[in-house]
Chain A
């Protein structure tokens, strides 16, 4: 159907008088003009800084003077041999994978529930979406009080009064601190991603479920054989956002733990910011940033490739 329409359009266009063609070309160029501001933003805020970062990674730039010395690959050598530069790698990966998996596992069932009709549904949807509104830094400060490792911390007080348990070192034990940061990230992100899934759920025709019900399929079977496969595009988008966002994470661990205890919740982005801004080692930080950008790019492309294959097989 579509190719026939296209060919009709092309042949009709070819037969049009020059005035009409000129008007159409003018309209097309006018439409393209609207892309200029976005392109400008893209170039100024992304292409220029990325190019500068790449250039600085080969210099001893301190951030204070444009007069820099070319140092070749020495910054890259330091990044790969200095353990403190890569101290955040382990937790960054754990955070990215942990939060992406948990948010997906929580958000899909949540979206299914929120898609059903029940009293005050819109209010409940708003409540789950709310954590996505305040800045992560504010959430981090609030959760800092909730997860305070002292007996007077909110969570420890509740556990003490209900179960006479604790206090637990939520943010002062390395393992618990890592888990706490991931759990807070899941709490903050599940609602937003549930809304994404909800939008896709609403586009699934109800006929499929009606037919499945008539055929005797249980709710579980309907979920795994209709809902989940048809949500694949949403899972791809959601996980793409979660993976790229997770790899760049900085604000939440920093406000909760400042990267501690020790380097337990230190992230690559914190390492880049600390080395660059605080320590005036922009050249070194830029080298780490370049390597990290390439790594994120590879992960993103690989993820898209795998997702597309799964999508094609399922749909």
Chain B
């Protein structure tokens, strides 16, 4: 009886021990030879880069940890910052940059030599209102339309459309030939809409969002025409309204199985498409322009690497970012991630299908509303996504969508 009770007591203690262990402090070591690094890329992706850094800096050991993007990474980083156990170097992303910068949790990197190869566009994405730069973003991404050129050829199309009217005409041609012309998932900000707005913003000297957020203009002044053009896909009956319920993976499945001729895609989609359908003749191109506008890409600077304002080892953190700026490190990073790197002294080797977009992506000719917005980014993005779904379903007009965004913005001020 006593033995059984002792065993039960041991089991009870065993239950409690993991709880105590949970109170550990990852990344809290003060060892001058240890660099803590928290990323949202997995260990397999970052391992070669870390190994090379450790090889080049004998004695410095990198303690790596990660959490998958986006919500889990952000909440983990929040907890660590709050408890004073955040890593020396961590990822700063569009979703948490405002809170990190406003909370003074990240170091200004503006005058650091390792930023010299990072384009102004990428620096500006992670800059604060004071002009300081808080993240070292070494890559960018752009999303456009991925074409199945064989299906296009079957319908008699030989060239990639340059204008939105030409694109809609191509959709009609494909539909008449019995092919599903185009699919995009509407479970987030629309890529074509972002591209239309990007072209408009660039034409206005990049003042569009500044004006909307300083109150001198409204969403309805800029958004109604792009929304109207985008919704022609459904009002003209070219694409099924059922895309509202599709995920990006489901769209890609339709494309690789040859059931859809065109889909929205980013550089991350190409390896998956190549693997699933190696013989598919594909090409990616920017979103065709509306009303005389040029083709443009949705996209943004990739998340950057930031130095913790309370880093235990700031010297090693700077060394790590200095290392990242080298062509050698970029080659390893690019091979592991497949990203379109932007540092000026390294030219990435990418899938030929991406060639039509690489130059624009590296030049920063990309736009994403929720990155360009000055505040309440996620609040507006959630509202925009819901409103776009209603627009596709035919339950909201472009004017109503734009007004809903104006109302939402007003409610956050």
A interface list, Cβ under 8 A from B = 30, 33-34, 36-37, 40-41, 44, 62-66, 82, 84, 144-145, 147-150, 152, 167, 169-174, 177, 257-263, 266, 273-274, 277-280
Asked whether, in the complex, the Cβ of B250 is within 8 Å of the Cβ of A170, the reply is: no
Residue of B nearest to A67 (CB): B103
Asked whether, in the complex, the Cβ of A144 is within 8 Å of the Cβ of B74, the reply is: no
Q: Which residues of A contact B5 (CB under 8 A)?
A: 30
Q: Which residues of B contact A37 (CB under 8 A)?
A: 12-13, 15-16
CA distance A273 to B70 in the complex (A): 13
Q: Which residues of B contact A63 (CB under 8 A)?
A: 75, 78, 82, 99
At the interface, is chain A mostly helix, strand, loop or mixed?
A: loop
Q: Which residues of A contact B13 (CB under 8 A)?
A: 37
Number of B residues, CB within 8 Å of A: 50
Asked whether, in the complex, the Cβ of A169 is within 8 Å of the Cβ of B245, the reply is: yes
User: What are 8 inter-chain pairs, A to B, with CB distance below 8 A?
Assistant: A40-B16, A64-B100, A150-B250, A170-B245, A172-B241, A172-B393, A260-B245, A278-B378
Q: Which residues of A contact B78 (CB under 8 A)?
A: 63-64, 277
Q: Which residues of A contact B385 (CB under 8 A)?
A: 260
Q: Which residues of B contact A36 (CB under 8 A)?
A: 12, 16
Q: Which residues of B contact A172 (CB under 8 A)?
A: 241-246, 393
Asked whether, in the complex, the Cβ of B259 is within 8 Å of the Cβ of A152, the reply is: yes
Asked whether, in the complex, the Cβ of A278 is within 8 Å of the Cβ of B74, the reply is: yes
Q: Which residues of A contact B241 (CB under 8 A)?
A: 169, 172
B interface list, Cβ under 8 A from A = 5, 8-9, 12-13, 15-16, 19, 70-71, 74-75, 78, 81-82, 95-96, 98-100, 103, 105, 187, 240-247, 250, 253-254, 257, 259, 376, 378-379, 382-383, 385-387, 389-390, 393, 395, 408, 411
CA distance A82 to B383 in the complex (A): 13
Q: Which residues of B contact A147 (CB under 8 A)?
A: 245
Asked whether, in the complex, the Cβ of B254 is within 8 Å of the Cβ of A152, the reply is: yes
> Beyond A64-B100, A150-B242: 17 further Cβ-contacts under 8 Å?
A30-B5, A36-B12, A40-B16, A64-B78, A65-B105, A147-B245, A148-B245, A169-B245, A172-B242, A172-B245, A172-B393, A174-B393, A260-B389, A263-B386, A277-B74, A279-B378, A280-B99
Partner of A33, one of B9, B379, B389, B390: B9
CA distance A82 to B257 in the complex (A): 44
Asked whether, in the complex, the Cβ of A34 is within 8 Å of the Cβ of B12, the reply is: yes
CA distance A147 to B389 in the complex (A): 18
CA distance A170 to B244 in the complex (A): 10
Shortest 10 CB-CB distances between A and B: which pairs?
Answer: A171-B245, A172-B245, A149-B242, A172-B244, A37-B16, A64-B103, A261-B389, A149-B245, A172-B242, A63-B78
CA distance A253 to B18 in the complex (A): 32
CA distance A149 to B386 in the complex (A): 18
